Structure 1
Amino acid sequence: MSNPSRGHAALAGITAAAVAIGVAEPVAVLTGPRSAPLIAVGGLVVDLVPEPLKRFGIALFGTSDKIALLVGTAVLLAAFAALVGVLAARRLAIGLAGIAAFAALGAAAALTRAGADAFDALPSLVGAGLGGLTLWLLLAGPLSPELWAWSPPSARDLDEKHSEADPDGRRRFLRGVGALAGTAAVAGVGGHWLAGRRGVSAARQAIVLPTPSAPAPAVPAGADLSLARLARYVTPNSGFYRIDTALVVPQVDPATWRLRIHGRVRNPIELSFADLLARPMVERYVTLACVSNEVGGDLIGNARWLGVPIREVLDEADPEEGADQVVGRSVDGWTCGTPTAVLRDGRDALLAIGMNGEPLPVEHGFPVRMVVPGLYGYVSACKWVTELELTSFADFDAYWVPRGWAAQGPIKTQSRIDTPRPRNRLTAGPVMVAGVAWAQHRGVQQVEVRVDGGPWQDATLAPAVSLDTWVQWSWRWDAGPGEHTLQVRATDADGATQPEESRPVAPDGATGWHTVRVTVA
């Protein structure tokens, strides 16, 4: 075989990988989107990446962390594919072995996903087969630049030999690359389109939420101060934070959804979505927070939830003595462990089906999720929930516990300055300082603000619906010229003030006072 330049060989490898990934997409429509190689490998990375690196990714990219992970995975794949192409130009068998390794990784990753079967390996195998064919076509088959003159690699730049290439062969090769890359793009886009057609948007839109037997209390006048840059008291669905491990949002048909309550119970129960809809519904405002929320962060939101009290379902199942943990299990296999006592102590812990007056958004757990006031989401807010298993903390560690997080995660008292923002340039005179504070299921008793390490000043608290939501606060500051540092702290209804000590989010939530530096002219 006459060999192309190193650059063209790398391009052949990348094209082969693109064909493999693109063709796998429509195949994954049949086997499930989580079996697509890029998604499967990305999911494996999520499970295996060291916890400090994962926290760094969330801190850096926030709710775009999944997109960043997929882009990073694709970049690494392209680099590997380029190397495969260069090696294949020397000896095709080496390149095909690289493609086979890619297939093995994708298949293995797909088979490790919860609920996977042998067919989940199919997208990786089919994609790799056509990727190998592409590599042969471009480097040894009819699309290869057969007349290119190329000697074995030396210290000299291989591209110097490319000057002897036959122009017709080069054009044939580049046309082949274009055609194959275009085919890969069409297959990939078509696969995504077909997957979307199989989604559950239509099923969600067809749902009519029942009237709650216990409606949510009205939001009191003045709960939302309506200040610029201050978070709304009720977070719109479109702006509600999303942190989970699902690279592909599960598409769960409510017609086939089932919830099993089993394990250490005397009366196992299985409920359909229709069974859930037929039960009396409770509607409550509850503020949810992610344990990964840094001091001053925005991984928190308040919404009006509609659902069935988890307490009632657990009472029917009748937990056995010692069953102190309820493991919520998502359809994608993710687990969280919630203290049984918390779910039965009278708080408004819900199997939620509605959010702010509409069926749950798909990305927020449609058709059913858990909502538990007072606990960080990683130990309570299971989305796309399909099982509640009664067990004990001594017998089972949920998803995040072996990864260094605490088994139980009560939300810590926190406060945040929303306005003014860091590095704002202000005009001397009256300035409204405002933000939010939270201590779910305890309530906020006091918020204090200080300037440049001076005495603490009481902020004014806006009214709130209940102890389970955050509260807005405000403080009028007579700002003088210069550089200034603003700090805030909150005290909960039990009299505990949030500590000054700065601690990271792991293992059970960050601590410290939110600090904002501003310039006054």
Structure 2
Amino acid sequence: MQRTDRAPAWAGALAGLTAGAVALGVAQLAAGIVGPKTFPVVAVGDVVVDLTPPPVKDFAINAFGANDKTVLVGGVLVVLALIAAALGVAARRRPVYGDAGLLAFGAVGVLAVLTRPGAGAAWVVPTVAGVAAGMWTLRALVRRAGLASRAVPAYEPADADADADADRMADTDRMADADRTADVDGTVADRAVAGRAADGESGPQAGPEPGPEIERPVVMRPGAYGAGGFDRRRLLTGVAGGVVVAGAATVLGRALGSRQAVDVARGGLALPSPATPAAPLPAGTDFRIGGLSPFVTRNRDFYRVDTALVVPQVDPRAWRLRVHGMVDRPIELTFDDLLGRPLTEADITLTCVSNPVGGEYIGNARWLGVRMADVLREAGLQSGADMLLSTSEDGFTCGTPVDVVMDGRDALFAVAMNGEVLPVDHGFPVRQVVPGLYGYVSATKWVVDVKVTRFDRDEAYWTPRGWAAQAPIKTQSRIDLPRQGTTLRSGRTTVAGVAWAQHTGIEAVEVRVDRGEWRRARLAAVPGPDTWRQWALDWDAAPGRHTIEVRATDAAGRTQAEQQTPPAPDGATGWHTITVQVT
């Protein structure tokens, strides 16, 4: 009689988690050599971003803000951890189950990697290496700790008498088999019994040795798991070794794929002086009211919304900008070529189309770069061209109207931000900055390619996902002070915020309390029509609960719409409204 014993489920899950960690660590190490975009977790995350319906993306941006990518990668890792644990539990029954699961998810990783722009055969190396390491680790832990199920005998001999009893039982079983065979064909099939009869032996008293085909039953003591049994200590020491390997590989891989080389190159750059510097900011540009957004947004505080899970690390020495398509003379520029051209400095506010009413996806900075119009004139725009399809180093594309870039505004291939070399997170070494358009149709970071084309021939990344092909910024305003839901003391207080209508400018801002009369706020000075504008209003707050609304009117006389609409497909509308309590 036999039974099947199996190690506890937690042991299999721990082995699976360790194997998964080793797989990801080795993949990270290989990706550090091949390139950060080849890390399978990032590739899968990128595919998820591409396939996610726009409403879900909007929810992620609104719910998590700049942390949306961290949340996505974390979610992918949690799912992988759960799957790895399940594969470890399954491997207790048969190790091949763990192999099959790891191979399946390796195939998913390979397919995801190969869908990325610029993918080549070498891009699959991190995934393949990680899967191989994971399979080896899981099998090693299963063997080391005796995790696999096995059939074990049911009895163990305690002494010599038990041995004799076992021999007699075996003989009896063997003769019974012979009798059953004789019943079938009239012959005795038990060769062992026939042999004893020929030698003059009879009966079981002779104590025959069991033949090689007979296994001696043994009794298994409680807790035994076959040969060697489940060994908790060997499992835990093996897991500790796997964790060390996974951690070391991850740290080394990140170091290899880190931005160190790019940071060194960025830190060594000296920016040329602008041929056309921006004028000093006029007096009164910033009210300097506590809690009010400053006129100039510091680089570290500037919003970031893009599709890159891993920030591209572009060496300026290897960077190239290709301008081609419907042009007479295609151009390819190096970074040194760009810096050698006349540079323009301009104050420009950028806004994300995902910004809800009252949202924070907006910032103002002083940019330095080459005018896009100058480069396009040199290339020679052909008749009929109405779209610039720009491509980021990570494959993102956006479509910018040609007429907007060529109408005289300061549309730039920017290389600096607020007097510093462009930060890596914001597009180093070169990005587009086009005033008056939402970022998804104008502000390509890490730009490497500009195709002059037509809107009826090409589509940019967000257009087939339900967003407008052309998206001029809508007039909007926001209340920064006081904050929604705050409690104020009665008496004179300041209501303040910002309003924007890039490339038109803000003419007036009005505020009303509890749906009373609109009152005009005082406006700060601005250097031009391409930036936001601070506004402020003194309010004598009486005790009670109050609703405060704001609306802006641009320099063309257009007052922002009252009706609230979501960001999709071409930018949110509505008056920003808050409630406060006054005591």
Kindly state the Cα deviation for residue 142 of structure 1 after the two structures are TM-superposed. 2.3
Question: What does 1:181-260 correspond to in 2, within 5 Å?
Answer: 181-196=243-258, 199-260=261-322
% same residue: 54
Q: Does 1:359 align with 2:421?
A: yes
Segments of 5+ residues of structure 1 without an aligned counterpart are 152-161
Q: Does 1:264 align with 2:266?
A: no
Q: Does 1:144 align with 2:149?
A: no
Q: Take 1:42 and 1:500, find their aligned partners in 2: how far apart are those partners?
A: 38
- Residues 234-264 of structure 1, C-alpha deviations (whole Å, 9 max, x = no match): 0000000011111111111111111010011
Q: Does 1:83 align with 2:94?
A: no
- Structure 2 CA distance for partners of 1:468 and 1:175, relative to 1, 3 Å: same
- The match for 1:135 is 138
User: How many residue pairs get matched?
Assistant: 510
Q: Is the 8 A contact 2:401 2:470 kept in 1?
A: yes
Question: What does 1:3-152 correspond to in 2, within 5 Å?
Answer: 3-139=6-142, 141-145=143-147
Q: Is the 8 A contact 2:514 2:547 kept in 1?
A: yes
Kindly state the Cα deviation for residue 138 of structure 1 after the two structures are TM-superposed. 1.7
Kindly state the Cα deviation for residue 189 of structure 1 after the two structures are TM-superposed. 1.3
Q: Is the 8 A contact 2:390 2:397 kept in 1?
A: yes
Q: Which amino acid aligns with 1:98?
A: G
- The match for 2:456 is 394
Q: Is the 8 A contact 1:145 1:170 kept in 2?
A: no
CA-atom RMSD in angstroms: 1.8
Q: Is the 8 A contact 2:429 2:446 kept in 1?
A: yes
Q: Is the 8 A contact 1:292 1:299 kept in 2?
A: yes
- TM-score, normalisation: structure 1: 0.95
Q: Which amino acid aligns with 1:264?
A: M
Q: Is the 8 A contact 1:149 1:164 kept in 2?
A: no
- The match for 2:485 is 423
Q: Which amino acid aligns with 1:376?
A: Y
Kindly state the Cα deviation for residue 10 of structure 1 after the two structures are TM-superposed. 1.6
- The match for 1:343 is 405
- Structure 2 CA distance for partners of 1:149 and 1:58, relative to 1, 3 Å: farther
Q: Take 1:298 and 1:148, find their aligned partners in 2: how far apart are those partners?
A: 61
Q: Take 1:6 and 1:332, find their aligned partners in 2: how far apart are those partners?
A: 42
Q: 1:374 aligns with which of 424, 433, 436?
A: 436
Q: Is the 8 A contact 1:4 1:150 kept in 2?
A: no
SS in structure 2 opposite 1:288?
strand
Q: Which amino acid aligns with 1:33?
A: P
Q: Take 2:150 and 2:581, find their aligned partners in 1: how far apart are those partners?
A: 65
Q: Take 2:366 and 2:99, find their aligned partners in 1: how far apart are those partners?
A: 55
Q: Is the 8 A contact 1:137 1:144 kept in 2?
A: no
Q: Take 2:559 and 2:526, find their aligned partners in 1: how far apart are those partners?
A: 19
Q: Which amino acid aligns with 2:116?
A: R
Q: Is the 8 A contact 1:33 1:195 kept in 2?
A: yes
Q: Is the 8 A contact 1:147 1:169 kept in 2?
A: no
Decide which moves more: 186-195 or 507-516.
186-195
Kindly state the Cα deviation for residue 322 of structure 1 after the two structures are TM-superposed. 1.4
Kindly state the Cα deviation for residue 143 of structure 1 after the two structures are TM-superposed. 3.7
Q: Is the 8 A contact 1:146 1:169 kept in 2?
A: no
Q: Take 2:151 and 2:306, find their aligned partners in 1: how far apart are those partners?
A: 53
- The match for 1:508 is 570
Q: Is the 8 A contact 2:92 2:149 kept in 1?
A: no
- Structure 2 CA distance for partners of 1:5 and 1:264, relative to 1, 3 Å: same
Kindly state the Cα deviation for residue 400 of structure 1 after the two structures are TM-superposed. 0.4
- TM-score, normalisation: structure 2: 0.85
Kindly state the Cα deviation for residue 164 of structure 1 after the two structures are TM-superposed. 6.8
Kindly state the Cα deviation for residue 8 of structure 1 after the two structures are TM-superposed. 1.7
Q: Which amino acid aligns with 1:132?
A: M
Q: Take 2:387 and 2:230, find their aligned partners in 1: how far apart are those partners?
A: 70
Kindly state the Cα deviation for residue 198 of structure 1 after the two structures are TM-superposed. 5.1
SS in structure 1 opposite 2:257?
helix
SS in structure 2 opposite 1:366?
coil
Segments of 5+ residues of structure 2 without an aligned counterpart are 154-221
SS in structure 1 opposite 2:21?
helix
Kindly state the Cα deviation for residue 91 of structure 1 after the two structures are TM-superposed. 2.1
Kindly state the Cα deviation for residue 144 of structure 1 after the two structures are TM-superposed. 3.4
Decide which moves more: 260-269 or 79-88.
79-88
SS in structure 2 opposite 1:418?
strand
- The match for 1:275 is 337
Q: Take 1:268 and 1:310, find their aligned partners in 2: how far apart are those partners?
A: 14
Tell me which structure has the larger Cα radius of gyration. 2
Q: Which amino acid aligns with 2:427?
A: G
Q: Take 2:547 and 2:533, find their aligned partners in 1: how far apart are those partners?
A: 23
Q: Which amino acid aligns with 1:195?
A: G
Q: Which amino acid aligns with 1:404?
A: G
SS in structure 2 opposite 1:55?
helix
- Residues 142-194 of structure 1, C-alpha deviations (whole Å, 9 max, x = no match): 2434799999xxxxxxxxxx977799701211221122022101111111112
Q: Take 2:152 and 2:112, find their aligned partners in 1: how far apart are those partners?
A: 38
Q: Is the 8 A contact 2:16 2:84 kept in 1?
A: yes
Kindly state the Cα deviation for residue 199 of structure 1 after the two structures are TM-superposed. 3.4
Kindly state the Cα deviation for residue 280 of structure 1 after the two structures are TM-superposed. 0.6
